[in-house]
Amino acid sequence: MSGTLRRATAGAPSLEKLCPGLSPGSGGGGGGFPSVRPRRLRQSQAMRRLVSEVRLHPADMVLPLFVKQDIPEARPIRSMPGVFQHSRDSLRRAAHEAVSAGVGGLMLFGVPSERDHCGTTDAVLNESIADVIAEVGKDMVVMSDLCLDEFTDHGHCGILAADGSVDNDATLLRYAEMAVAQADAGAHVLGLSGMMDGQVGVVRAALDAAGHTNAVILAYAAKYASGFYGPFREAVESQLEGDRRTYQQDPANAAEALREVALDVAEGADIIMVKPALPYLDVLRQVADAVDVPVAAYQVSGEYAMVEAAAANGWINREQVMMETLIGARRAGADFVLTYWATEAAGLCAAR
């Protein structure tokens, strides 16, 4: 026994005193003691690090950022402590912080000061893309949200028909326009999140026709009609009434999600997304096993808010649970994770 261990155990009650009749070598029943002991590989932080099956790296994370049109400084989002609606200036600062932390990418969302029926008020997003590309575009993958919900006065992800339903094919025409505009602004990756049928094929054709053959399509192929999006809707000041169940995935279905994924890959998607992450880790694993393109998971606003609220009440260890949820998404098959903790978690990765 080393001197350090001898000092640490000096005066400690013996096993015989604590548990009479139990001591090493007292095992009865003829079974003996185990020769195979998995705990050997968990006995120290150094050993656990050596045999870790999944490692979280700063480059495995993408930071979603909201930019609000015509505000002088960043505004906190009540339901997402630590997350802000950014001004153009604070957006630049947040982008630099993420680069310094080694974060892999940024996903930009625009919040306009006005909205219309067809979502043509998206200039704030295109301006923000150009700002971030000018600041960090050589050091960071810049992604943009290609959807209408932030910009429509009804809050849906597409253009509404006369009967109030979402007109799939009219929406595709707007997506094509938006895609070219975002690529013109410099976006490296376009995040198609609207769940319209055929969106990947239409956007890919529009991008290629405009000369943006290198623009990457990140398809939200398995985006579920989830209750975990609530805080996000505050962040983008969503005008939505009702729900999106006619176009987003039914939470009960996994095989249907795999069909959506296969269609998006066939239409030219470069990366596939599963959203949300935590309630759909089983789907994430199935998708990762089914495709040969990178797979992303979005740790959505409700997942973030849930952990922050529990931590604020002292019910959980915030940093431990934060990192555990991210590792869970990676273990389930995500090549990278969109998370509002990206910059902070990147710093914790470096410290471990």
Apex 202 CA angle, 198 and 205, nearest 5? 145
Write out the two tokens for 207.
């991008």
In the set 17, 68, 138, 223, the catalytic residue is 223
Q: C-alpha angle with apex 176: 211 to 286, nearest 5 degrees?
A: 100
* SS3 of 290-330: HCCCCEEEECCHHHHHHHHHHHHCCCCCHHHHHHHHHHHHH
Question: Pick the catalytic residue: 17, 68, 138, 275?
Answer: 275
DSSP state string for 138-171:
TTSEEEEEE-STTTBSS--SS-B-TTSSB-HHHH
Q: For the chain, percent helix, then strand, then coil, each to nearest 5? A: 45, 15, 40
Q: Which residues contact 304 (CB under 8 A, 6 or more apart)?
A: 80, 83, 231, 339, 340, 341
17 is catalytic: no
| Three-class secondary structure of residue 27 per DSSP | coil
- The answer to whether residue 68 is catalytic is no
Residue for token pair 């006005």? 114
Q: Which residues are catalytic?
A: 223, 275
